[in-house]
Structure 1
Amino acid sequence: MANYKTLLTGHLLAPFGKRVLPEITPEMVGPWERSVVAAGYSPRTAKDARGVLITILGDAVRAGYIPNNPAARIRGKGPRGYTASRHSSGQRRRGRRRSRPC
């Protein structure tokens, strides 16, 4: 819990604390995460801070404050991949079912 509070106060409140939720865009999150590393913090710290942001904005999506999570990472690559915004309702694409030997 202490790490969560440190990440929140040290890395998230200054850039995002005074913004209205719909103002936060995916285009803001990537540069912000890189700026944490540029400020001398480890890439792991930046990743952990983004994880806290993802959790906070995910809760805002579930509460209906914003339509999708702008901090969510794009998952998968190519035409079979999916993004959190395309499947924000929690539905995921199903892959092929394998036939099981009898």
Structure 2
Amino acid sequence: MDVYRDIVEVVADASGLMQAKQIVSRTGLLAASAKIEGTRGKLKRLVERGWLTEDRPGRFSLAHRPARASAEGKLSAVPPACRGGLAAPACTSSGALTLLQVAY
């Protein structure tokens, strides 16, 4: 199970901003404090890597739509941080970021 992919999919399907506890319940996890805090940390990492935005404190939305899944099943797109080359450590040589590169 790829938690980061699940989080991005839940946020992408949402009609508005989402909080960590809403995302936890939609991914099928128990809405316990530890799960919510762990998810909040993952959300912050996804913001740092350009996949999500935190429009207001604790409220997240999709930063951009992933282009499509590659042959390996990895989501790939060029997030704002990677445009123009290797601007961020998570960018690949082609300027693209794969969601599966997000470190746990």
TM superposition score category, shorter chain reference? 0.3 to 0.5
* Larger Rg over CA atoms: 1
- What TM-score, normalized by structure 2, do the two folds share? 0.33
Higher helix share: 1
- What TM-score, normalized by structure 1, do the two folds share? 0.33
